[in-house]
Structure 1
């Protein structure tokens, strides 16, 4: 039955609120990971 529910019911306010919290957290995590990887690459090039 869950598969028959329209897409609109999936976007409940609580889920949108969760996405609003998760989006910046994921953005910061990806950004820190990217900077960490570039830092590693620069260190490897220095040696």
Structure 2
């Protein structure tokens, strides 16, 4: 799941965690939602060596 630029509330994070999501972040950087999706997919592909 990708959140809005405002970030997730504590309640939203708890709901995601309770639903089986693994939470990951990119530090204090704030990206536009459409940019965050591309960056997250690139990081995931790099982590599993799938280029």
The reply to whether TM is greater than 0.5 is no
TM-score under structure 2 length normalisation: 0.35
TM-score under structure 1 length normalisation: 0.38
Which has the higher relative contact order, 1 or 2, with Cα contacts under 8 A spaced 6 or more apart? 2
Larger radius of gyration: 1
Larger helix proportion of the pair = 1
